[in-house]
Structure 1
Amino acid sequence: MIKAIAVDDEPLALMVIENYCARNQHVELVKTFSNLKDAQKYMNQFQIDLLFLDIQISRSNGMDFYKGLEHKVPVIFTTAFSEYAIEGFNVAALDYLLKPIEYERFDEAIQKAVLIIVDKKLAEDQNFLTIRADYKLNKIPYDEILYLEGLDDYVKIHLNDGKKITARISMKGMQEKLPDHLFLRVHRSYIVPLNKIKSFQNKILSLGEIEIPVGDTYKSIVAEKLIR
């Protein structure tokens, strides 16, 4: 069961989300908030799987709030304004629901969340990546992965022994399958295991004999992750 909270300054909008969650077997709405400050306090204390977030909340901006979260939670934006849709997907939102929200559209968003969140939870409980490639289902132990390279609609998984497995999946999709505490996306085309990183200098990560470039938009994330 996916545990979710909802943030919206419109009581009717929160009632709709509550009603829809009650009808859906995959999601439990554990709390609702009418302001971002209280939602932030709750998220600092309790772990949730999913955030339903309005974009215009009183004088605050839900998009800016989400961008500023230190620990990102999968988000479904709920708003009456379509102009924020592109920005929503730029921050990797699971979905973008326009008010008034129909239940069928809500359920479609929850199905996406189930595929991503539940799959990721299973991955975190296991020690291997399950991926379909070369007409079969591959189980690849995490510690055998050297790095992952994005190639258009494919991802090439480079293994310690020099072998490569190429799967038809986007980098975003692959990133969502991998546990955050073990893997880090460092470039639009590269994901690396944290425990394989030997050094980081001049926008280059060293994985021993392998060097991986760090994209400008990922530099601060990489530096912060490695300092911890």
Structure 2
Amino acid sequence: MIKAIALDDEILALKIIENYAGKIENLSLEKVFNTQSDAKKHLRKYPVDLIFLDIEMPSKNGMDFYKNISQNTKVIFTTAYSEYAVDAFSINAVDYLLKPFSFERFKEAVGKVKITNDPDDIKYLSIRADYKLHKINFDDILLIEGLDDYIQIHLTDNSKITARSSMKSIMEKLSEKDFVRVHRSYIVPVNNIKTVVNRNIHITHFVIPIGDTYKDVVMRIVNK
């Protein structure tokens, strides 16, 4: 998951970025800012992988702002001015989006972002559902159930979150050492697999069948 913020002095430009970002599954737009001071304060406390950054702003030039960020944050410049492109790439910008840009062009730029975070170091799942971003601790997940084009995340407090996603996509966001797919319709935390009875895993109020494709993996976990 790519964690990002956006900084632009134009509110409409920020709304467009928010709209586009919401359509990209592996991108989490944490916050948007229209002043550099607010963005700087946020970055001091909450480092991100990527910043969408305007160049011509009332205070400091966007490039100067980026050069003064101490953390290793990647940048995609979003600007109405083409004359800064050479300078942008000289400071290793991921991409340079010239306003107005399409969703496809935005998606292409995000696709160029490579982050080195080890998924096994992440202990939470970020997913969009009900028009907002949910940040779910791995420890709070009881199981994940596939429902056609949606997934349902069952939580330990008996609540559940339904989101549009494939099981393959959701599995890519999870730590392989913490979660295992046990059936085409079920993903469960490894620590919840205590015993297997008649090819079923019993978790709280659920009885989860083990699919033929996944039985060897499950049995290796049980026999550890």
Q: RMSD between aligned alpha carbons?
A: 1.6
Any conservation in 2 of the 1:66–1:72 contact (CA below 8 Å)? no
- The unaligned stretches of length 5 or more in structure 2 are 122-224
Look up the match of 2:58: 58
1:4·1:29 contact (CA, 8 Å) conserved in 2? Answer: yes
Cα shift at 1:2: 1.0
Within a 5 Å distance, the mapping from 1:187-226 to structure 2 comes to none
Counterpart contact for 1:26–1:110, Cα < 8 Å = no
Partner of 1:143: none
Give the corresponding residue for 1:35.
Answer: 35
CA shift for structure 1 position 122: 3.4
Using the TM superposition, give the Cα deviation of residue 12 of structure 1 relative to its aligned residue in structure 2, in angstroms.
0.5
Task: State the Cα distance separating 1:98 from its structure 2 match.
Answer: 0.5
Given that 2:47 and 2:71 are in contact with CA atoms closer than 8 Å, whether structure 1 keeps it comes out as no
Does the residue aligned with 2:6 lie in a helix, a strand or coil?
A: strand
Deviation at 1:38, TM superposition (A): 0.6
State the one-letter code of the partner of 2:31.
K
Corresponding position of 1:24: 24
Gap change, CA 1:71 and 1:108, over 3 Å in 2: same
- Work out the CA distance in 2 between the residues paired with 1:124 and 1:85: 36
| 3-state SS of 1:121 partner | coil
Q: TM-score scaled by structure 1? A: 0.51
Task: Write out aligned runs for 1:49-198 (5 A).
Answer: 49-113=49-113, 116-117=114-115, 120-122=116-118
Within 1, Cα distance between the matches of 2:66 and 2:97?
16
Aligned residue number for residue 13 of structure 1:
13
| Residue identity opposite 1:87 in structure 2 | D
* Residues 1:51 and 1:124: Cα distance change in structure 2 (over 3 Å): farther
- Give the 3 Å change call, closer, same or farther, for CA 44–89 of structure 1 in structure 2: same
- Structure 1 distance, partners of 2:119, 2:107, is 24
Larger radius of gyration: 2
Q: Please list every run of at least 4 consecutive aligned residues from structure 1 whose deviation after the TM superposition is greater than 6 angstroms.
A: none
Question: Secondary structure of 2:101's match?
Answer: coil
CA contact 2:76–2:93 (8 Å) conserved in 1: yes
* 1:96-137 deviation digits (Å, cap 9, x = unpaired): 100001111000011111xx11xx223996xxxxxxxxxxxx
Distance 1:88 1:81 in 2: 11
**1:8–1:53 Cα contact (<8 Å) kept:** yes
TM-score by length of 2: 0.52
* Bigger fraction of residues in helix: 1
CA distance in 1, matches of 2:12, 2:106: 16
**SS state of the match for residue 37, structure 1?**
helix
Residue aligned with 1:28, SS: strand
Q: In the alignment, is the contact (CA less than 8 A) between 1:21 and 1:28 conserved in 2?
A: yes
Q: Distance in 2 between the 1:44 and 1:87 partners?
A: 25
Mapped partners of 1:70, 1:124: distance in 2: 25
Q: Which digits, 9 at most, give the CA deviation of each residue in 1:153-192, with x for residues without a partner? A: xxxxxxxxxxxxxxxxxxxxxxxxxxxxxxxxxxxxxxxx
Q: In the aligned structure 2, how far is the partner of 1:10 from the partner of 1:80?
A: 11
% identical equivalent positions: 50
How has the CA–CA distance of structure 1 residues 2 and 123 changed in structure 2, closer, same or farther, with 3 Å as cutoff? Answer: closer
Residues 124 and 77 of structure 1: is their aligned pair in 2 closer, same or farther, counting only changes over 3 Å?
A: farther
Q: Could you tell me which amino acid in structure 2 is paired with residue 122 of structure 1? A: D
Q: Secondary structure at the match of 2:66?
A: helix
